Amino acid sequence: MENIKLEKKPKKLKLSTDSYSVSVSRKDGMLGDFRIFDSEHGQWNDVFYGKSVFENKAGVRIKDELTGAGFSDNFGPATVFYHEPRKIAWNGKGSNVLCSEPQIKKSNSSMELTQEKDFKDAQFTMRNEYKFEKDFIQWDVVLKLRPGEKERSVRLEYQLPIFRSVNGGFFPKGWQVWAPLEDAPYSFGHAGGWGHSQASWYVHHFPYCSVNAGAGIPLPMIDVFSSVYDIGMSLIAPPGQIKPEMVFVVDKENSVLKLQYNNIGLRKTKEWRLSLILHPHRGDWREALGWFEKRYHDYFVPNNKRVIDQEGTMFYGVPSVKEKNIKAWVKNMGLKWTEVLYNPIFGDYVPEAEKWDFDMLWSEKGPEKILRGLTKKKIGDYLKMLKKHSVASFIYYNYGECDERLAKKNFSESIIRDPQGLRKAWMFRDGKRGNMTMNPDPDTEWGRFVLKQVDELFEEYPELDGLFIDQMCYHSSDYGRDDGRTMINNAPVYDTHEASMRMMEKIAEKLKSRNKTCFANGPYNFEIMKYADGIMSEGSLSGLAKYSYACLNKPVMVLTYNVFGEDLEKVFKACLKYGAFPSTPWHHDKSFNPPELPPENTLELYRRYLPLIENLRGRRWVLRSNAIVFPNGLDGNIFHRRAGGYVIPFFVKDSLISYKHWNASNPKTIEITLSGNEKIQPEIKWLSANFRGEKALKAHRKADKLSIAIPEFAEAAILIVKS
């Protein structure tokens, strides 16, 4: 075993690699003595001047929701840092537990330990399965109902210590928490100090599978790292594994990290496998995200690379826009693709009717918001016109909703049911009609019906470039069905995630066979994004930030809600930071009869920013530690260019920044960390929203650091570094 060393001791097994060392208790299976990169600043134990005071361990807590009983490992006392420094957290004695002798299995690159764990009076069995590799630990907990016991729901929580300070006292320096959110990373010590209740947040919750909701995150990972000590560790739930409700928790008040799993159904003859991966690393969150991207690379790349050439400014609208408008938008706003809305009702995307009206936005207050007399020929002619002007067309498609009348008549068994009854997705603006939320299982009548229409759409409209898949944000617990594993408050339900994955896999196969692509709106997590080529964030810049982390190598864009002028400039800056493209400014009812051009102040922003954003086409995130450092007052990012080298977007992030003394004698300097001995050209191309054309700058290199001095004010700009 070259990668992993094993030392057998009477009370524990000690394992070590170049990245970490850890022990597994023979008595209770808890992880202890954890240390990363042999650093005294990267350990769990409380050590005071060489003496271990508290041996802080990682273990689990389980709540039986049928009996109300709780079962816990013996975490013991530990110092805490944020309620008040040097105070003690008392975690109780834990539950009585018996463990089997760990079984060890070795291979060339890993070591596996399996240990049965029996909590006294628990109606379930538990098994710890540890897999140790050179740069990560995978910790699986397997739960199974005992024979003869009633089925029930349980909650499980992994609990790990936060890395400790040396010799006690305040929290270690430089530690931050990163999650795939707009304002991350978060410092452990916000303004106000470390030791006061007013200092900052106590507990942060990061729920997975709810990207559109508050702090919901698109990736099943968070990272803690210290910029001072050059160490960090990711907490990851492995993609591809069936997950009940899942939440990452950073609890500063008790100085612990948690991964909570809820809605676990203990069913007869079946077992639940829950997982946590710990990945120690050097550097910051980019290094951690790079490891995650490399390990799960297939999730981050488009299924069809044609989408790279199709990405660009997008229009949301109906197939009645005048050709002169399309031509003007291509010229002045860089229009590249459009979502085509046309369907008479949701769920019926290839209507048998000769003629129909598109009226989902119609109401008595907006009687003009209707497109009458649509036919398949009119739609086909419109798609041909778009093709003439090199505008890609993505026709509206939605497997998660169905017109209420159609759903209740033909597909009632697939309507999602809540405890209160059938779930309605939304009401039309007339206040009378609406859609039902549907279970996306592709093996039901509803699933087969909507899948069949994918083929029918491309056969009817061969000019189509792909599908625009709406409402991929739907992730439901269907009380009308039973998936055989999920339970909420002891009631069996059907978690629709696995059905959505199967539905999207089948859609992706159909698209691939026809060399077509798809954009998707608002997916609830990056696992369901696997089968989409590009992603839209509808009306949300915080959503754009989240989706960009899930689209490290695939297109992402933001659809604005009738945003013009100064507010639109904020959108363009967000596009620069996240490597995204914008939409035209019109949306919903404003898209029925949009003008040939927007107001001049808005049009001027497209002229200034699109030449910059166009350089981000096909970008890939640079994922190495300290990849780029911006001076105070600037923000931005760094990406790999499609043609090689780097593209660096940046912009002024504070409108109050003083730039009176920003000049050639006092420039703003951006510093890049290069990869080893990579070769780059010293002449940098500079494009700015403040001037036309381009200018040349000279970069200065010292070892792996590249410094670029910006000699004059730039509201927003792009630097191109060629290899």
* Cβ atoms 112, 129 nearer than 8 A: yes
CB 457 within 8 A of CB 467: yes
In terms of DSSP bridges, do strands 87-89 and 110-119 run parallel, antiparallel, or are they unpaired? unpaired
Phi and psi based region of residue 226 (left: phi greater than 0; alpha: psi -120 to 50; beta: remaining):
beta
Q: Do 379 and 470 fall into the same domain? A: yes
How much is the pLDDT for 660? 74
pLDDT of residue 595: 92
Neighbours of 715 (CB within 10 A): 15
Is residue 346 over pLDDT 70?
A: yes
CA dihedral 317, 320, 324, 327 (to 10 degrees): 40
Confidence of residue 198 (pLDDT cuts 50, 70, 90): very low
The pLDDT of 669-698, averaged and rounded, is 94
The reply to whether 500 and 635 lie within a common domain is no
* DSSP assignment letter at 168: S
Mean pLDDT of 690-717: 95
Amino acid at 529: M
pLDDT score, position 210: 67
- Residue 521 CA to residue 506 CA, distance in Å, equals 18
What pLDDT sits at residue 483?
Answer: 95
Asked which of 122-136, 401-415, 533-547 is least confident by mean pLDDT, the reply is 533-547
**Between 490 and 564, the higher pLDDT residue:** 490
pLDDT band of 658, cuts 50, 70, 90: low
Cα separation, 437 vs 494, in Å, equals: 14
Q: How far is CA 298 from CA 161, 288, 335, 517, 553, in A?
A: 32, 17, 29, 16, 10
Residues 403, 538: one domain? yes
Give me the amino acid identity at 286.
R
619-648 mean pLDDT: 96
Residue 637, domain member (yes or no) = yes
| Average pLDDT of the residues in 617-637 | 95
Position 669 confidence tier, pLDDT thresholds 50, 70, 90: very high
Q: Which of 587, 604, 620 is the last residue of a domain?
A: 620
Q: Cα(404)–Cα(418) distance, rounded to whole angstroms?
A: 16
23-27, 224-228, 602-606: which has the minimum mean pLDDT?
Answer: 224-228
13 inside domain: yes
Residue 646 lies in a domain: yes
Rg (CA), the chain: 28
Q: Give the angle subtended at the CA of 58 by the CAs of 57 and 61, to the nearest 5°.
A: 120
Please indicate, yes or no, whether residues 32 and 172 belong to a single structural domain of this protein. Answer: yes
Q: How confident is the prediction for the chain on average, in pLDDT?
A: 91
Quote the percentage of the chain above a pLDDT of 90: 76
**What's the pLDDT at 69?**
97
Q: What is the average per-residue pLDDT within 27-44?
A: 93
What does the pLDDT read at residue 197? Answer: 42
List Cβ neighbours of 513 (8 Å cut-off, separation of 6 or more): none
Q: Residue 126: how many CB atoms within 10 A of its CB? A: 21
Listed range (64-68, 117-121, 193-197) with the worst mean pLDDT: 193-197
Cβ count within 10 A of residue 183: 8
pLDDT digits (tens, 9 = 90+) for 144-175: 999 999 999 999 999 999 888 766 555 566 78
Residue holding tokens 């928490």?
Answer: 177
In this prediction, residue 189 carries a pLDDT of: 60
Taking the model in full, what pTM does it have?
0.95
* 300 domain-assigned: no
- 693: confidence class by pLDDT, cuts 50, 70, 90: very high
Does 447 score more than 50 pLDDT?
A: yes
Task: Give the domain CATH number at 706.
Answer: 2.60.40.1180
Confidence of residue 446 (pLDDT cuts 50, 70, 90): very high
In-domain check, residue 441: yes
pLDDT at 717: 98
pLDDT of 394 over the 70 cut: yes
Q: What is the dihedral of CA 281, 287, 288, 290, to 10 degrees?
A: -130
Same domain, 332 and 256: no
The label of the residue with tokens 């010799």 reads 167
List the CATH number of the domain containing 382: 3.20.20.80
Statement: residue 191 has pLDDT above 50 = no
Is residue 283 located within the same domain as residue 338? no
Tally of structural domains, the chain: 3
The pLDDT score that the predictor gives to residue 83 is 46
Among 203-207, 429-433, 592-596, the minimum mean pLDDT is found in: 429-433
pLDDT over 60 at 193, yes or no = no
**CA separation for the pair 398, 472 (Å, rounded):** 8
In this structure, the answer to whether residues 701 and 557 fall within a common structural domain is no
Which of these three, 602, 620, 638, is where a domain ends? 620
Query: Measured between alpha carbons, how far is residue 171 from residues 86, 88, 228, 705 in Å?
Result: 10, 14, 13, 30
| 73 and 46 within one domain | yes
Please report the pLDDT score of residue 213 as a whole number. Answer: 56
- pLDDT for res 636: 97
* Contact yes or no for 698/680 (Cβ under 8 A): no
Domain membership flag for residue 192:
yes
Calpha distance 99→551 (Å, rounded)? 43
CA distance 206 to 185: 13
- Residue found by looking up tokens 């497997």 in the block: 399
In a domain, 301, yes or no: no
CA 130 from centre of chain: 27
Q: What is the mean pLDDT of residues 231-241?
A: 96
Res. 84 pLDDT band, cuts 50 70 90: low
Query: Do residue 368 and residue 444 come from a single domain?
Result: yes
Q: Which residues contact 658 (CB under 8 A, 6 or more apart)?
A: none
Same domain? For 346 and 444 the reply is yes
Choice between 269 and 81, residue whose per-residue pLDDT is larger? 269
Residue 473 lies in a domain: yes
Same-domain status, 320 and 435 = yes
Same domain, 607 and 545: yes
Judged by average pLDDT, the poorest of 184-188, 270-274, 541-545 is 184-188
Instruction: Please report, as a single letter, which amino acid is at residue 530.
Output: K
Alpha helices in 552-685 (DSSP H): 565-578, 600-613
* 3-state secondary structure (DSSP) of residue 450: helix
Q: Give the range of the structural domain holding residue 387, as residue numbers without chain letter.
A: 306-620
Tell me the pLDDT tens digit for each residue of 241-298: 988 899 999 987 788 999 999 999 999 989 999 999 999 999 999 999 999 999 999 9
- Percent of the chain exceeding pLDDT 70 equals 94
Give the CATH number, domain containing residue 246. 2.70.98
Q: Pick from 250, 270, 295: which residue ends a domain?
A: 295
